[in-house]
Chain A
Amino acid sequence: MEFREAVPYVVSAYMGIWLAILVYLLVMQGKLTALGEQVKLLNKAVEKKSAEKEPETVNA
């Protein structure tokens, strides 16, 4: 195969690799961000719940 003919094959091989890795990284980043926000919200809710419970314990 001539150089000119081979170029599209080589370029598409390398582009495919980096594109797939990029998409995978973006998906992971998205999951990580969503989970991070969930953890933050849940932590706040847990703190709020335990703060509500504390006075009850004192009264009892």
Chain B
Amino acid sequence: MKAIYLLYSLPIFVIAGLVVYFPTARRWVADFFTTRKLGVAGFALLMVGLYLAFFVAPEPVVGEGKKIFSQKIFYYHVPVAETSLIGFILGAVFGGLFLVKRERRYDFLSYASVEVGFLFGLLVEWTGVIWTRSEWGTWWEWEPRLTTYLILMLMYAGYFVLRSAMAEESSRARFAAVYSIIAAVSVPLTFFSIRLIPSVHPIVFTSSGAQMEPPMLAAFLISMFGMAIFSLALIRAHYSIQLMGEEVEYLKDRLGG
């Protein structure tokens, strides 16, 4: 089972390595994986994942043969959650790159990653609350995962407050980069909270592998991969908007000068 995780994550690490170390590969990847291509591929995978989740994957059975239909929420809830955490980590990585290289594109990428991460974070809260209500009979439970995730979201809400409060561009980018790195510390805390503190939140992936049947795992992995690709498309689109905004500022300066 662990080989599946390795196979799943290996291409991502290979592409990331090539992109980071080779400018030619970076350009090729940027040219090949356009926003539209990423968006369409992500959407298609999400649709396949949805089909598998509802028509192929069985529902878990508890007690006297009782099927849990609300478990279907899981096929998008977990991918959205993982994607939001990836967005926050990317935000910190690009923030760090901005602090080292002082290139504005890294600030743009950091901002785009955090914003998309935050959007997906809101969706995690939405699906999580619905799941909690349907299965635990309450809208909110102060258990480790929900509480740490709420703290994480409040921290990232602060990121947007910080950005909008600072008018001067270079100091805004600098402070936002530092903040994105500090806030990212809460990402592993949130992820490992249910593994470190006793919790009622389900743990799907344990040290002995995924706690689900192969059709369920297939639906989950496809949804997961689709959501990650779709979020990359959103990040790219957001980045393009910021580049265009920069072009507008440049043209305004030219007209004014």
Contact = CB atoms under 8 A, between A and B. Distances in A.
B247 interface: yes
Nearest to B243: A35
Interface string A26-49: 001001100110110011011001
A31 B126 contact: no
Nearest to B116: A24
Contacts, number: 86
A13 B245 contact: no
B122 A20 contact: yes
B101 interface: no
A35 B69 CA distance: 45
A53 to B, nearest CB: 12
A13 B69 contact: no
Chain A: interface size category: 20 to 34
A1 B135 contact: yes
Given A16-B127, A32-B240, A35-B244, A42 B252 contact: yes
Most chain B beta carbons < 10 A, residue from A10, A20, A38: A10
Nearest to B133: A9
A6 interface: yes
B254 A9 contact: no
B67 A9 contact: no
A9 B237 contact: no
Interface of B: 50, 67-70, 72-73, 76-77, 80, 119, 122-123, 126-127, 130-131, 133-135, 230, 234, 237-238, 240-241, 244-245, 247-248, 251-252, 254-255
Given A16-B130, A49-B254, 13 more contacts: A1-B135, A6-B69, A10-B72, A13-B127, A14-B76, A17-B123, A24-B119, A24-B234, A32-B241, A38-B248, A42-B248, A45-B255, A46-B255
